Amino acid sequence: MKESQLKSLSNEKEIRFKLIQKYQSLFPKGFIREEFTGPGLTTRNDLFLVHDDVIISFEIKSNRDTLKRLRKQVIEYLTYSSKVIMVLDIKHLKKLEKDFQDLITNSNIECLIYKNEAFTTYSKGYFKEYPNLFNLLWVGELNLFKQRFKQRSKINKTEYDLKKMIRQVFTESQIHDISKTIFLDRVYNNRGSLNYKPTLLEETINIIDCDILELQNNFYNYIKGVLNG
């Protein structure tokens, strides 16, 4: 192959492969998948790493890419990630410094520059508190929130109403903890399989510090409100 043809090839696969090697060694028990997206998301990250304590989203910009969608992608990744790592080919460095200072200086965004088949850290990112994964749950997973409640069959509403019910019955802290348990079960035990069917986990409600009778009462009051219009 001619040198001019070699220069025209994208190095995205090369970058992706080296990233997987690097971060699988850093998080040996972590799960890495490619092209992750979820309910309500408009973007799809290049790599997604899940570990018990962290969620990292990666966005790769190869020597054949542009930075046109970078801001939108990274901002959305931040809504469900502990850290976002931008990995840019060296050709994008000047553009990055000129137009993306806010991303570079964001404490939860890390920037790696790829040059000569190696990564250098341009800016260091730090892990934020574990994100609330509620909005990444599928409808079947949302149903787990009400699976232990009596009289749940009395309402059969849309996903929006289901989310509304959950927010009225549970506290934000409880939603956070239960969502994390459900999401990690999908990732670790089902490895993102398309055939995954969520089932009731014993710990989904047991893990939170609450009175199940109080939750049942909240649920009953919600049902009365729905049925009474």
Domain boundary among 101, 123, 145: 123
Counted domains in the chain: 2
From first to last of its 229 residues, what are the pLDDT tens digits of the chain? Answer: 455 445 568 899 999 999 999 999 999 989 998 988 888 889 999 999 999 889 999 999 999 999 999 999 999 999 999 999 999 999 999 999 999 999 999 999 999 999 999 999 999 999 999 999 998 888 888 888 887 777 666 666 555 578 888 999 999 988 998 898 888 888 877 665 556 666 656 555 565 556 778 888 888 888 888 777 6
The residues, ordered by sequence, that sit 6+ positions from 188 with a Cβ below 8 Å of its Cβ are 31, 50
Q: How far apart are the first and last CA of the chain?
A: 71
Q: What residues make up the domain containing 21?
A: 3-123
Q: Which residues pair with 45 in a beta bridge?
A: 36
Could you please report the per-residue DSSP string of 40-69?
Answer: T----EEEEEEETTEEEEEEEE-TT--STT
CA dist list (Å): 192 to 34, 171, 185: 10, 28, 10
Looking at the structure, do residues 40 and 118 belong to the same domain, yes or no? yes
Looking at the structure, do residues 205 and 158 belong to the same domain, yes or no? yes
- Using DSSP bridges, classify how beta strands 109-115 and 83-89 pair: parallel, antiparallel or unpaired: parallel
Looking at the structure, do residues 112 and 30 belong to the same domain, yes or no? yes
29 phi/psi in degrees, rounded to 5: -100, 0
Does 190 reside within a domain?
Answer: yes
Looking at the structure, do residues 52 and 11 belong to the same domain, yes or no? yes
Looking at the structure, do residues 158 and 202 belong to the same domain, yes or no? yes
Which residue in this structure is represented by tokens 């599928």? 138
33 phi/psi in degrees, rounded to 5: -130, 160
Looking at the structure, do residues 31 and 62 belong to the same domain, yes or no? yes
Pure H helices in the chain: 3-8, 12-26, 70-78, 93-99, 101-104, 139-142, 159-169, 172-190, 203-206, 212-227
Rounded to two decimals, the pTM is 0.84
Looking at the structure, do residues 71 and 166 belong to the same domain, yes or no? no
Looking at the structure, do residues 8 and 46 belong to the same domain, yes or no? yes
Does 129 reside within a domain?
Answer: no
Domain boundary among 71, 100, 123: 123
Which residue in this structure is represented by tokens 């109080």? 214
Looking at the structure, do residues 112 and 12 belong to the same domain, yes or no? yes
